[in-house]
Amino acid sequence: MFVRHGAATAARVASGKVGNAIARSWTTPQIRQLHLSPMSRVPDTLASRSFHKTSSRRSQPALAEVEEEQPPDSSNPALSFPCLDAQEARTAALNRRSLNSGPEPSYTTGRHRSWHSHAPLLLDWGGILPQFSVAYENWGRLNEDKSNAILLHTGLSASSHAHSTEANPKPGWWEKFIGPGAPLDTNKYFIICTNVIGGCYGSTGPSSIDPADGQNYATRFPILTMEDMVRAQFRLLDAFGIEKLYASVGSSMGGMQSLAAGVLFPERVSKIVSVSGCARSHPYSIAMRHTQRQVLMMDPNWQRGFYYNGIPPHAGMKLAREIATVTYRSGPEWEQRFGRRRADPSQPPALCPDFLIETYLDHAGEKFCLEYDANSLLYVSKAMDLFDLGHEHQEQMYRLRLQNQSRSSPSQREGDKARSCSLALPDKPYEEQTAETSSKSVSEPVASNSMRPSEDLIKGLTPLRNHPALVMGVASDILFPAWQQSEIAETLRAAGNRSVTHVELGEDKSLFGHDTFLLDLEYIGGNIRSFLG
């Protein structure tokens, strides 16, 4: 390609001026080769206008015409943007896909089991799933009295594939933590892991078909809570005939669900394990998830959630994942891994990924952007934001559920549509309040130097006062800081629980931040093994 058209033309192709005209005939390796070419870093000045013209519907000019359109040389050559070229190339490739198969990925990680409920599920905020499916996988054997079951809860974007199975030998996300002699010992326990409702790995979520009209739910899918997800899981346990769990175990979002399972069904759970979780979401994590949702929803391909017959919002998903990845690890670890090293010090600086840390984030976004359904990210992350085990919030949701049960018929739900779609932005922007005028909320976090948690949270966790609990945190975690796990442990103790084990891994033990729960078999896994017995 470069020999035939010449270096100048190749540079303009790299800049995007004629990239759309000929990229359709290129293979992925050829596009990758162009991105890595030194010539792509030195395009002529025509590149500075290229991205304003790529969407034009007029026919693209011939290569000879492009040569004649060159403006006079400027003082400096224009920068190239291979990262944007890659985005445009992916969009073009998705656009060329057959409409019969659709551009969406399958949102699966291989074969899993599925349980389907024909009974409706009433959700906390008034939505109803007339029927729903729960994808799950299991390991070990259920004993005769069905007393050895452990329910394993996942993080935000994980599937039910926590460990390899005969049907799906691909390693799972907790592969080394499950198995004979492992922390979740399959010689002793029957382990069940589900994909949460709202997800996209087999359980009912926004990408699923609404039985009412045969179309994807999209953003007609109802708002979820952590408690909704747990109720769906316990419907699955009912199908197994499991009356009481040996333990509820989870990390990150799963740590939140593990606590919620005990609060909702205290008589059906024996032990609680919550790793890198919280008893209620706090402003920093809410802010980070809000930012991810905003960049995703601003992607023009998101189409307010109705993108299932078109191009998925891969650019927004990529950026959202990059933001999330920043919160998953720690600064000290990245200092060791990347420092200030650049990917190619021999090249001049670029505005696209240049430092090693930038290329790492870029890779994380690229890997994820077509693996997970964008709407699932919105709904599941919002459910995390809404999480609050404080007594006042639980009472509010209980009253709301009672009201919604009386409006559960199809005709009554039709009359509530206006009410459910009435959200409006406030008339005035947020204004800072002085300390004298601001009132203390029951949802404020426990101060790091506080000796006693809030009475609201103590009362909310009282159902767990008789449950042995393991609460683990990591000092290098910035998404779920270690003080939030301290809050859980101290609240449980204040509620009367005398069987609380609280472990905090200092930076001498782990620099992996929030992702420690996925990586640290020695300390995370070892403490879980000892606790379960």
Q: Give the length of the chain.
A: 533
CB contact at 8 A, 113 and 378? no
SS3 149: strand
- Residue from 37, 514, 515, 520 carrying the catalytic annotation: 514
H-assigned helices in 416-521: 417-420, 455-460, 482-494, 516-519
Residue 166 makes CB contacts below 8 A (sequence gap 6+) with none
* Residue of 501, 523, 502 lying closest to 511 (CA atoms): 523
Residue 139 makes CB contacts below 8 A (sequence gap 6+) with 163, 165, 178, 179, 184, 186, 190, 191
Buried b (16+ CB within 10 A) or exposed e, 334-365: beeeeeeebeeeeeeebebbbbbbbbbbbebb
Catalytic residue list contains 515: no
Rounded CA separation 331/353 (Å): 18
Q: Tally Cβ neighbours within 10 Å of residue 269.
A: 23
Rounded CA separation 63/55 (Å): 18
Phi/psi zone of residue 110: left (φ > 0), alpha (ψ -120 to 50 degrees), beta? left
CB contact at 8 A, 506 and 473? no
Kindly state the tokens that stand for 27: 């293979």
- Residue from 252, 274, 330, 510 carrying the catalytic annotation: 252
Phi/psi zone of residue 474: left (φ > 0), alpha (ψ -120 to 50 degrees), beta? beta
- Can you say whether the dihedral through the CA atoms of 151, 230, 169, 381 is positive or negative? negative
Catalytic residue list contains 252: yes
Phi, psi of 272 (to 5 degrees): -125, 130
Q: Which helix (H) or strand (E) holds 527?
A: helix 526-532
Catalytic residue list contains 514: yes
Residue 432 makes CB contacts below 8 A (sequence gap 6+) with none
- Residue from 477, 486, 515, 520 carrying the catalytic annotation: 477
Amino acid occupying residue 467: H
CB contact at 8 A, 137 and 113? yes
Residue positions annotated with a catalytic role? 252, 477, 514
